[in-house]
Each structure stands twice: as C-alpha cells, then as structure tokens.
Amino acid sequence: MTKEPTILSIETSLDDTCAAVTYGRRVLSNVVSSQSSYHADWGGTVPDLAKRLHEQWLPRVVSLALKRANNPHLDALAVTVGPGLAPSLEQGIAYCKLLATKYQLPILAVNHLEGHLLSSFAQTRSGSRGLTNPVYPALGFLISGGHTELVLMHQIGRYELLGETLDDAAGEAYDKVARLLMLGYPGGPILANLAQSGTPRYPLPEPMTTRKDLNFSFSGLKAAARRYLENEKPSLTLKFTQDFAASFQQAVFKHLLTRFRRAIDLYSPRMVLLGGGVVSNVALRTLTRSAAREYGLPVYFPSNQKLITDNAGMIGIVASYKFARQEFTDPNKLDRLPNLNFAKASEPPQPATSNTSSSQG
Ligand code: KG4
Ligand code: ZN
C-alpha cells in the first residue's frame, strides 16, 4: 500500500484565515480564525481589511495547525486559488509560495468549491467517519454564502455544473434579510435559529416557479422581504421576527428543494453530497434527506461543523487526491482565480426513464 501524503493546506478565500494538516483523508488539525467580528460594523466583508488580517494572521494560524498535528514531515503544500475575493486569495497564495521556497515543497492548487463538495470524505485524526464507499454519478449540492450550485460528479476530479444562482447565493440572502431585520452579521445562522420557532404567515413567495431549469435566484425574494418591511413598517418584535424568518426560510427551502428534485429526476444520481455553510442548517438537511429518501438515495454531509463552513481541512482532502494524480502547479504559474467554477454541463439534460426512483447506491 502506498503511503498517504501529509499536506499543509491554506484557505483564505474570503474572511476566514484557515490552515490544516491532513494525512490522506485524515484531518490532523484544522485551524479557523474568523475575521467576522472585524467586518461586522460594515455589514459585510471589507476586502482591504480581509487582506490585511490574512497577512497578519497567516504565520500564527499555520504554525498552530502544524503544532496541533505534532509538526509532521510534509510532502506538499496546498492552497485555495479560487473562487473568492481576489485580495484574500492573494494573501494565501503568497504565503504558500513563501513556504514552498523555504521548505522546498511542491504546491497543489485547489478549487474552494471542490473543497466543499468533497468535505464529506474527511476523516477524523484516527481515520474514523468520512464517506468511504462513494457511488457515481453523485449529485453535489453546494449551498454557501458565495454559491448555490448543483454539480454532477462522475468521479473525484470530474465534475459538471448543472445549475447555479443567477444572482445572490442562498447564504448571502440569509445574511441580507437578517440585516434588514437588524440581526447582526453574519446573520444567516441567527435568522435560521429564529425561523425554527416561527410560523410562515407572511407573503414571501418561492422564487422562479415558472422556470423549469436547475438555476437559482434569491434577489427577488430578498427584494420582496425589503418591500414588505418598508411598506408595512412592522415593529420588529420577537414574534414578528420569528414568523418573518420562517416565511423567508420556507421560500428558500421550497426553491432549493424544487431544483434538487428536478436534478435527481434528470440525472439519476446514486448518492448526494451536501456542502457549504448553509448546510449547517439542520432543518434544511432534514428536508433534503427526506426528499432523497423517496428516491432511495443516501445523503452525505461533513461529519463535524468545522468542516461545513469555510476551513482548510476540506482543501487538504482535495489536495490528497490531487497529490495521488501528481497534479502539482508550477509556483511561477500559481495565481488567484476569483471566478473559478466547474465547467458547465455540455449535454442538455435527458429526461430520466420512469423507474429510476429506486436506484440505490
Ligand atoms: O461556506 P461558507 O462558510 O462560506 C462561503 O464559502 O460562502 O458559508 C457561509 C454562509 C453565510 O452566508 C452564513 O450566513 C450561512 O453560510 N449559514 C447559514 C447557517 N449557518 C451558516 N445559513 C442558514 N442557516 C444556517 N444555520
Ligand atoms: Zn465556502
């Protein structure tokens, strides 16, 4: 059996400064230093501030990740090259290049979205948990603050983008509506929490019900929320906020689930992989699982919360597969790719035959 690679990974695509050490699929350390309290006053990530904090924090975050993994011998370095905020990505890449020169290590360039997609494969330090028997094709459902995508995965490293958001991402809509309700930043988790105790009684409709494709749109829903609040000027009592949050969340879930079911009908996947920060939402996971169960499909998501939101452990998982394929990047050619995405599906969707609902993986 070949030895698994030990890799130090860096992730700075937005406003979390992250470093992790992995041994194959085992996550030995996973350090996340969140900048969110620094950006809170501005209600969103401030690019220059994010860049400066990444630069300041990276040396400490990296040395902590190495220390927590007992300072192992490294075989390679990995870094997120995109998608993300250009100034943030630049800092991670620059620091990775510095370390590569210092320690004479090869570099693996990683797509942040592939990180979220493969986050279910991550194992604990002792090698437990983590998806071990993948079956393909898999349907990836990525729901984060920057992206909302359905991805068809034929094998590790081969993906097709089936549908994506045409405007805001789902997490972004949560954060923006939370801001309208003056819930703080990032407000997504707070809004989701309030929604749990509310009754959906306000007129916030499911987006794009007439379009029969696999794309998403959340800006109309956000605008409807803003219009309602501006026109009705309700007092933001706890009861109102809970019910309004529940109304918003219900529309988001309906929209996500309509597209999710359609993708299963069209592409007959054999398993489902969930990834991205919004997958922290337990109610959403429950709904997704019960929809998938109707098709006999297993649903996987990361084994711990830290692997769901942005982190470098998931980057290390992708890197370990890239290492096996020897997909190293020349440091002189290593550059940020702020708009990186999976290639769009070339084939138009073929309607599945009627008895695919029982295909079990
Ligand atoms: O994947 P992630 O950490 O960063 C990006 O790559 O965007 O996702 C962060 C997003 C934020 O928009 C946050 O509000 C949202 O995930 N989020 C949630 C929940 N927890 C985090 N949205 C809804 N319900 C939650 N429980
Ligand atoms: Zn992310």
pLDDT value at residue 44: 84
327 plus 255 within the same structural domain:
no
Q: Which atom of ligand 1 is nearest to the CA of 169?
A: 12
What are the backbone dihedrals phi and psi of residue 111, each rounded to the nearest 5 degrees, phi first?
-80, 120
Q: Rounded to the nearest whole angstrom, what is the distance from the C-alpha of residue 1 to the centroid of ligand 1? A: 39
Task: Specify whether 166 is located in the same domain as 224.
Answer: yes
Residue linked to tokens 């988790």: 189
Are residues 227 and 78 part of one domain? no
Q: What's the rounded Cα separation, in Å, for the pair 207 and 119?
A: 29
**pLDDT of res. 360:** 32
Question: What's the 252 CA to ligand 1 centre distance in angstroms?
Answer: 13
- Is the beta carbon of 281 within 6 A of some atom in ligand 1? yes
pLDDT, residue 315, reads: 98
Report the amino acid identity of residue 45.
T
Distinct helix (H) and strand (E) counts, the chain: 10, 10
DSSP strands (E only) in 13-157:
16-23, 26-34, 76-82, 107-111, 138-143, 148-155
Return d(Cα 17, Cα 92) in angstroms, integer: 8
Does residue 358 belong to any structural domain of this protein?
A: no
CA gap 107, 345 in Å, rounded: 29
Q: What is the pLDDT of residue 3?
A: 87
In a domain, 356, yes or no: no
- Which of 301, 324, 355 lies at the terminal end of a domain, its last residue? 301
pLDDT in tens, the chain (361 residues): 568 999 999 999 999 999 999 999 999 999 999 999 999 888 889 999 999 999 999 999 999 999 999 999 999 999 999 999 999 999 999 999 999 999 999 999 999 999 999 999 999 999 999 999 999 999 999 999 999 999 999 999 999 999 999 999 999 999 999 999 999 888 999 999 999 999 999 999 999 999 999 999 999 999 999 999 999 999 999 999 999 999 999 999 999 999 999 999 999 999 999 999 999 999 999 999 999 999 999 999 998 999 999 999 999 999 999 999 999 999 999 999 999 999 999 765 665 554 443 333 2
The reply to whether 152 and 289 lie within a common domain is: yes
Task: Give the structural domain span for 97.
Answer: 6-130+307-346
Which of 248, 280, 301 is the endpoint of a domain?
Answer: 301
Q: Check whether residue 159 and residue 280 sit in a common domain.
A: yes
CA dist., res. 332 & res. 97, Å (int): 9
CA distance 248 to 262: 22
For residues 170 and 279, membership in a common domain is answered with yes
- How far is Cα of residue 82 from the mean position of the Cα atoms in its chain? 12
Name the pTM for this structure: 0.94
Q: CA–CA separation, 308 vs 10, rounded Å?
A: 16
Question: Do 146 and 295 share a domain, yes or no?
Answer: yes
Q: What's the rounded Cα separation, in Å, for the pair 144 and 141?
A: 10
The confidence score (pLDDT) of residue 239 equals 98
User: Residue 213: inside a domain, yes or no?
Assistant: yes
Closest residue by CA, ligand 1 atom 20:
189
> Rounded to 10 degrees, what is the CA torsion of 188, 192, 195, 197?
-140
Cβ(115) – ligand 1 distance below 6 Å: no
Which of 12, 278, 311 has the most ligand 1 atoms within 8 A of CB, as the residue to mutate? 278
Q: How far apart are CA 304 and CA 310, in angstroms?
A: 12
Tokens 């002792």, residue?
126
Please report whether residue 184 resides in a domain: yes
Is 319 strand, coil or helix?
helix
The residue among 278, 301, 324 that closes a domain is 301
Please tell me the predicted confidence (pLDDT) of residue 349. 61
| N-to-C CA span, the chain | 27
pLDDT at 122: 98
Determine, yes or no, domain membership for 122. yes
Distance 112 CA to ligand 2 centre (A): 7
Burial class (CB in 10 A: 0-12, 13-18, 19+), 247: buried
Sort 232 into a burial class: Cβ within 10 Å, 0-12 / 13-18 / 19+. Answer: exposed
Nearest CA to ligand 1 atom 2: 277
92 and 171, same domain (yes or no): no
Q: Would you say residue 361 lies in a domain?
A: no
Within a domain: 150: yes
Q: Is residue 1 part of a domain?
A: no
Which pLDDT score is estimated for 159? Answer: 98
130-146 b/e with 16+ CB inside 10 Å = b? bbeebeebbbbbbbbbb
Regarding whether 123 and 34 lie in a shared domain, the answer is yes
In degrees and rounded to multiples of 5, residue 48 shows phi and psi of -65, -40
The verdict on 177 and 288 lying in the same domain is yes
pLDDT of residue 347: 67
| Number of compact structural domains in the chain | 2
CATH of residue 93 = 3.30.420.40
14, 15, 87, 146, 259 from 46: Cα distances, Å: 10, 9, 10, 15, 32
- Both 187 and 75 in one domain: the answer is no
Query: Which 8-state DSSP code applies to residue 203?
Result: -
Domain match, 80 and 152 both: no
